[in-house]
Amino acid sequence: MSGLFGTFNVATRGMSAQQKALDVVSHNIANANTEGYSRQRATMETTRPFGMPSMNNAMGPGQLGTGVQISSITRIRDNFLDYQVRTENGTSGLYQGREKFLTEIEGIMNEPSDTGVSTLLGKVFDSWHELSLHPESSNSRTVVAQQSKALTDELNNTYNQLTKLKGNSQDVIKQNVVDVNSMLNQINELNQQVISVKVGGNEPNDLMDKRDLLVDQLSVKFGITIDKKSLGGEDIKADGYDASLVKSINKDEVSRFSYVSSIKPTGTIKPGETGDYEVTYYKNGDMTSEKNKATLNINLTPQQYKELDQGRVLLADKEGNAIDTAGVKLESSADFTNLALFKPQKGELKGYMSVQEDIDNYVDQLNSLAKGIAFSINAVHSGKSGAADDKLMFFVNKDNKTTDGEKDINAGNISINEDITGDPMKINVGKGDTPGATDGNRALAIASLRDIRLNIQSINNTTTREQFLTGGNNKFSSEPDPVLGVKTISSSVNGMTVSGYFTDIVNRLAVQTQEAKRIVKNHEALLSGLDESRTSISGVSLDEEMANMIQFQHAYQANAKIISTVDELLDVVINGLKK
* Cα distance between residue 298 and residue 316, in whole Å: 17
Is the distance from CB of 313 to CB of 255 less than 8 angstroms? Answer: no
pLDDT, tens only, 549-568: 999 999 999 999 999 998 88
Q: Is residue 275 domain-shared with residue 304, that is, in the same domain?
A: yes
390 and 424 fall within a common domain: yes
The residues near 229 (Cβ < 8 Å, ≥ 6 apart) are 235, 248, 249
pLDDT digits (tens, 9 = 90+) for 513-536: 999 999 999 999 999 999 999 999
- Does residue 351 lie in a domain region? no
Task: State the burial class of residue 272 (Cβ atoms within 10 Å of its Cβ: 0-12, 13-18, 19+).
Answer: middle
Average pLDDT rounded to a whole number, residues 202-228:
94
Is residue 375 included in any domain, yes or no?
yes
- pLDDT for 416 beyond 70: yes
Residues 567 and 490 in one domain: no
Work out the average pLDDT over 238-263. Answer: 93
Q: What is the mean pLDDT of residues 261-282?
A: 92
CB 162 within 8 A of CB 420: no
State the average pLDDT over residues 455-477.
Answer: 82
404: pLDDT strictly greater than 80:
no
Residues 372 and 331 in one domain: no
CB 259 within 8 A of CB 173: yes
Q: Is residue 406 situated within a structural domain?
A: yes
Residues 437 and 498 in one domain: yes
- Tell which of 509, 529, 560 closes a domain: 509
| Identity at 254, one-letter amino acid code | V
Same domain, 331 and 436: no
Integer Cα distance of 477 and 335 in angstroms: 50
HEC profile of 358-426: HHHHHHHHHHHHHHHHHHHHHHHHHCCCCHHHCCCCCEEECCCCCCCCCCCCCCCCEEECHHHHHCHHH
Quote the Cα angle for 209-212-218, to 5°: 145
Give strand ranges (E) for 47-84. 68-75
- How far, in Å, CA of 196 to CA of 212, rounded? 17
In three state form, how does the secondary structure of 133-146 look? Answer: HCCCCHHHHHHHHH
- Would 420 be classed as within a structural domain? yes
Beta strands per DSSP E along 400-548: 414-416
Q: Nearest-CA neighbor of 140 among 489, 438, 481?
A: 438
- Condensed to tens digits (0 to 9), the pLDDT of residues 371-380 reads 999 999 999 9
Q: pLDDT at residue 99 above 90?
A: yes
227 phi and psi angles, rounded to 5 deg: -115, 110
470 shares its domain with 411: yes
Q: Are residues 497 and 425 in the same domain?
A: yes
Query: How far apart are alpha carbons 523 and 113 in whole angstroms?
Result: 32
On whether residue 399 sits in a domain, the answer given is: yes
% the chain with pLDDT above 70: 95
Same domain, 417 and 484: yes
**pTM score:** 0.87
In a domain, 179, yes or no: no
Query: Do 400 and 267 fall within a single domain?
Result: no
Tell me, yes or no, whether 374 and 486 share the same domain.
Answer: yes
Q: How many domains does the chain have?
A: 3
pLDDT for residue 56 is more than 60: no
**Domain for residue 110, yes or no?**
no
Containing structural domain, residue 273: 256-343
Q: Which of 279, 313, 343 is the last residue of a domain?
A: 343
What is the C-alpha to C-alpha distance for residues 367 and 401, in angstroms, rounded to an integer? 19
Average pLDDT over residues 483-495: 86
Domain final position from 458, 488, 509: 509
User: Both 268 and 153 in a single domain?
Assistant: no
Pairing of strands 333-334, 293-300: parallel
529 assigned to some structural domain: no
Candidates 78, 85, 77, 86; CA nearest to 225 is 86
CA 128 to chain centre: 45
Label residue 139 exposed, middle or buried (CB < 10 Å: 0-12, 13-18, 19+): exposed
